Every structure is written in C-alpha cells, then in structure tokens.
Chains A and B, each alone.
Chain A
Amino acid sequence: MRQLTYSKAISEALREEMLRNEAVIVMGEDMGVMGSVFGITRGFMEEFGADRVIDTPISENGFTSIAVGAAMRGLRPVVEIMYVDFTTVCYDAIANQAAKMRYMTGGQLTIPVVIRAPGGAGRRNAGQHSQSLEAIFTHIPGLKVIAPSTPYDAKGLLKSAIRDDDPVVCVEHKLLYAGKGEVPEEEYLIELGKADVKRAGEDVTIIAWSRQVLSALDAADQLAKEGINAEVVDLRSLVPLDFETISNSVIKTHRAVVVHEAVKRGGYGGEIAAQISEELFDYLDAPVKRVAGLNVIPPFSPALEDYIYPHSSDIVAAVKELLL
C-alpha cells in the first residue's frame, strides 16, 4: 500500500471533503497563500479559491467565532489554530459558543465546525507553542475530541469529523506530521468514538493517544523481548470514548497503564483511570497507572524539554511495576 505522511493524509482528507461538499471551507492564519505553516493546505487556494481557503488576520477568537456563525448558516468550516496553545485565546469561541449553541437553543442550531490544532512538545518551541491541551476540550460538554496517531487514522477521522454535525477538536501532534504510514488510495472513513487495538497482548493494557501511541508500541516491543505481551489501545477519539474496547482489554489483561504527553495533573488519563477503577475494579490485579508529562511548562532548552514528557522507557518501567 502507498505510504503517506501524517500531514499529507490530513491534507488529503481536507481536499477530498472540499471536493465532496462545497459547504466545506478552511480558515485560519496563513492557510491561503502560504498553504499553512505546516504545509497542510498547500495548493488549496489555487484549487478552491480565496473564498473557501481563507487567510485570516491574527484574531483567533474572532475568526473561530466567525466560523461558528458561518456554521449556523450551513457552512462546514475547518479552522486551523496554528498551535493548540493559541486555543487559549479563543476559548470563548470554542467552549462558550461552538460547544453550547446546540444545547442552549434547544437543538435548533448545529455547529459543524472542526478545529484543527497542532500540539505537543519536542520541537524546541518553548512553553507557548508546545502544550498538549486536549483535556481542556474533553471537559466541555458539546465538544468532540479526536487525537489520531497515524496517517491512516488522521485521514479517516478528520473526514468523519468534517461530516459530523457537532464541533470537533482535532488535536494533531506536530512531531507526527513527517511520519509516514499506509494510507489506501480509495476513500474510507473512521467512525468517531472507536478505539483501535494497535497491538494485541494479554499481560497488560497500555492506553494511549496521539504521539504517545508510538511510544507505547515501542515500549511493547521492548517488553516483548522480556516475554511480556502488552496490548496497546489507541483511543483515537477522546470524546466520545470507546470504553468498550478499553473494558474488553482490561478484563483480559487485568492491568492498565494510561499514557499521555499532557501534564499528569488534571490530564485525561486521570479520567480514564477513574473510569477503569470505578467500573472494572474486580478485574484489576493492580492499581491503574498513569504515565504522563511532568507538571511543568515545556522548557525551551533541548537539555530539558525531552525530559518532561514520557518516553517508551517510562512506559516499560511502569508496566514492570504493575507486574511485580
């Protein structure tokens, strides 16, 4: 099968959906002439015109709210917030407007907006360009949240997100963009709210999303050499959450480690751990473990940055602790 980068897969998803439905527009900073800072919409302006590929001023709250208003009128805007960190300046647009309009109007309005937001550390971008903020979005009823780890998943999920009538936040990891993976030529969709068992195993369940799925798979390889078979569950969607897949796995393995790059305190891993503990306590042979980012601001210095987020070695160590 052909290999595509994660960024190219996202680009293809956008392009296919724009070709399929004229109501789909993309907007954000540098989306048009430049083709986005990560090259996602390169060539789009020439193909679809400046009406549907909108270069916005640096006004995140304004243009995200504009997307909400446009969505009320039947457009399906895909907004790029250049770095997920910048969603903090358009939190009103996302949390108070996009998320709440349907409920607060008694179901009269739907807001089919997708907010794509590259996140994650490891690029020496320092504290305001490197965070993982997905937990904030999972905390707001009305939002759906996806965090794909592979090019295949990114394309299929994003296409479904664009067709979904609800606001979806798509958290992409910047360090995944250049990574390649199999993506078929033919069209496919991945349903929101379906986890994917990326590796089967019986000794322990490692639950992860976004870039930490790669760390989890790497850890599973290392553990296999020592005779420990880890199952890696890639959530792909955080809301809606596929607890059934988690549950099936944990009932089989009796042990769970939740891994994410975001800081541990208040992270979505705590939510997963709590749900497993509440609902699967009788199946557990050990407490659910979290492997997550340190409770700190992503530092610039290369000497510090790589220290603050989890690596496969941290996951291996956590699994071994569980199996003691």
Chain B
Amino acid sequence: MVIRKYDRETLIKFYREMKRVREFEEKACELFAQGMIEYNIHTCIGQEATAVGGCQALEKSDLIICTHRGHGQCLAKGGDPGIMMAELFGRETGYCRGRGGSMHIASIDVGILGANGIVGAGIPIAVGSALATNILKTTEITLAFFGDGASNTGEFHEALNMASAWNLPVVFFCENNKYAVSVDIERVIKVKDIAERAKAYGIPGVVVDGCDVLAVYETTKKAVERAREGQGPTLIEAKTYRYHGHFEGEPQVYRTEEEMSEWKKRDAIKRLYKEIIEAGFASAEDLADIDREVKEEMEEAALFAKNSPWPTENEALMYVYSNDNERSVAR
C-alpha cells in the first residue's frame, strides 16, 4: 500500500487540509445562500486533492498563481480562512481590502501571487515569476494552477513555450475538472489528455488521478524537484471534478446525475479517510476530532468576516497607483 510510505503526521495533515478546503467552501456556500456574499463564488468542492496535494509539495517560500476557482489553492498554500472570507465579503480586513473579492485573492506573505479572473492569464505571470527567480538567482519555484479551459487559451501555449525554451523553474498544474463552465473538454480538444500538449514544448507531461491526494503530492513533488534542479517545467494534468456548478446556483444542464454520483464515489477526502483508518494510522474518533476542529475554524472565519468593517468610500480611489496616486486618478 502506497500509504505505508507516509507517516501519521503527514497523512493527518493532508486529511485536515482537505477538510479545511471543503469546510471553507461549504461555509462560503451557506453564507452566499444567506446573501452575505455578493456577486458569486466559484467553489472547488470535489477538487480538494489537487489544491492540497499540489501545495503540500511546495516549500513555504515557493509561489503559486491561483484560478478563479482558487479558494482551496489559497488555503492550501497557507492563506488564513478568516482573511479570505473577509475578502469574499468585500471587507476592509480581506487580503485585498475588499478590492478583489473571491476571484482575486493574493497574499504575498504566504506566496500567493494572486488569483486571476481572466482564464489563462495567470500562466504567463507564473512564468514571469520563474524568470525572476532565474535572473535574481534565488531558489523559489512557481506553480501555476489553471483549469482545462485555460489550456485552450493562447496564453497557455505562449507561456509553456517560453518557459520550456528558457528552462524556467515553473510547474504547470492543470486541474482538469472536465468542464469549462458548461463545455465538456472532450468536445473542444482533439488530444486524449491535456498533458499530451507538453510534447509540443519538449517538457514532461504527466496525468495524475486528481482524486488521490497522495498521487497528486508525489507527482507534484517530482515536478517541483525537477524545476528546482534547473531541469525546467513540467505539465501536470490532474483529473478531477467539481461537485457544484461553475458558480453557485448555476443550473448544470450539461451533465447528468449519474456522472456526478460516479465521480462522488471517488471523493478524495473519503478515500484518504478510509485509507488512514484501514492502515491504522488513526481512528474514526481521531478524524472526527479533526472534522470538529476544522468546522470550528471555519465558523470563526465566518464570524471574523461578518464582524469586519466595510472599506470606506473615501478610500475607493486608493491603491490605483503607488506613486502620485491622487493626481493620477483625479483626471
């Protein structure tokens, strides 16, 4: 059993991190339904293993670029759920002081270079970060999360081409959740796997089961080590599935109940739960304790957001420019 390679602490951490992502998202959905969060949220329920497996393979000093479905990625990289939730609420205490919202969380302190509302746009930004690592002769690697939809953008191809031509320390991490909003990826690409596209750029392309956090972790670890040793980028394609609509309340006319329940049978959290217990690393009670702690943590996060102040109108024009802001926004 693969799980035997791991120690208890690591496995519990993986479990806890995945639960945190799920619980954060479920809390966010609940708050959204209550009207506490405006506009919309794109949840990653079902995709916990990609966010957690991917980020656990990174050092603290490494950097990530997130997607519009990026809450899990931010949490897994070390984002604080309260500050994240406050950003979802549009409060001054949020990571971006409420200027960005759900799709745009950035926290430079924990290595989140930002999520992007433009599908595919984060990929070359990650390459730019990797270019800086090389020029500045530092050691951080940059991992770009993106979805199957983004792999059809020009930016994906331009970025992979330059990153591979210049041998940059970057990991391209595709969360293939099968749908770009409503369009089944199989209807809009000819190749069987997105990972095959790596061939065009002379870099390794790896497919991994995105519902198996340990497999995701190991695959990413290998890509990270490769990048850190100066061997250049890797394209990882993790096959995963989102349980909710593209955004909350989206009617999901493009998929069937059968398909959804098939994927839910492969749920990454349930899978790890079962494996941990079967291998004797922890008891059901131990894991129930974690579940309870995580639930409390997210309750507190929600409370922090609810009790946080709104940004004030007299600060609406702040942060547009770093030099000469007042004059530059005046006319």
Contact = CB atoms under 8 A, between A and B. Distances in A.
B131 A65 contact: no
A62 B158 contact: yes
A105 interface: yes
A66 B129 CA distance: 7
B114 A105 contact: yes
Interface in A33-62: 51-52, 56-57, 59, 61-62
Contact of A102 (B94, B131, B155, B321): B321
Interface in A102-119: 102-110
Contacts of B162: 56-57, 59, 62-63, 66
Contact of B319 (A66, A70, A75, A103): A103
Interface string B114-125: 101110010011
Given A59-B158, A96-B118, A105-B100, A74 B324 contact: no
Most chain-A Cβ atoms within 10 A of its Cβ — which of B106, B128, B319? B128
B125 A105 contact: no
Contacts of A287: none
B121 A109 contact: no
A192 interface: yes
A202 interface: no
Contacts of B52: none
Contacts of B95: 105-106, 108
Interface stretch (A127-135, A181-189, A238-246, A311-319): A238-246
A61 B113 contact: no
What band does the interface of chain A fall in when counting residues whose beta carbon is under 8 Å from B?
A: 35 or more
A73 B133 contact: yes
A142 interface: yes
A166 B329 CA distance: 13
Interface string B157-184: 0110110010000000000000000000
A266 interface: no
A243 B104 CA distance: 34
Interface string A142-175: 1010000000000000000000111000000000
B124 A239 contact: no
Contact of B155 (A65, A67, A164, A239): A65
B159 A62 contact: yes
B322 to A, nearest CB: 4
B279 to A, nearest CB: 41
A65 B159 contact: yes
A93 B154 CA distance: 12
Interface string B52-67: 0000000000000100
Nearest to A142: B320
Contacts of B97: 106-107
Given A141-B329, A240-B324, A108 B108 contact: yes
A72 B128 contact: yes
Contacts of A52: 135
B331 A275 contact: yes
Contact of A65 (B107, B128, B322, B329): B128
Given A65-B155, A71-B128, A102 B331 contact: no
B129 A241 contact: no
Contacts of B121: 65, 92-93, 96-97
Contacts of A105: 95-96, 99-100, 104, 106, 108, 114
Given A61-B124, A62-B154, A106 B319 contact: yes
A65 B116 CA distance: 12
Nearest to A69: B128
Contacts of B108: 105, 108-109
A73 B136 contact: yes
Max count, chain A CB within 10 A of own CB: residue among B99, B104, B124:
B124
Contacts of B134: 51
B323 A66 contact: no
Contacts of B124: 61-63, 65-66, 68-69, 93
Nearest to B65: A69
A25 B131 CA distance: 11
A59 to B, nearest CB: 4
B224 interface: no
B98 interface: yes
Nearest to B116: A97
A101 interface: yes
A71 B158 CA distance: 18
Contacts of B125: 65-66, 68-69, 72, 97
A234 B117 CA distance: 38
A258 B108 CA distance: 44
B104 to A, nearest CB: 5
Contacts of A51: 134-135
Interface string A64-87: 011111111111000000000000
A193 B165 contact: no
A151 B159 CA distance: 35
Query: Which 9 pairs show the lowest CB-CB distances between chains A and B?
Result: A69-B128, A62-B158, A106-B97, A73-B132, A65-B124, A69-B125, A59-B158, A66-B128, A106-B96
Interface of B: 65, 94-100, 104, 106-108, 113-114, 116-118, 121, 124-136, 142, 154-155, 158-159, 161-162, 165, 318-324, 327-331
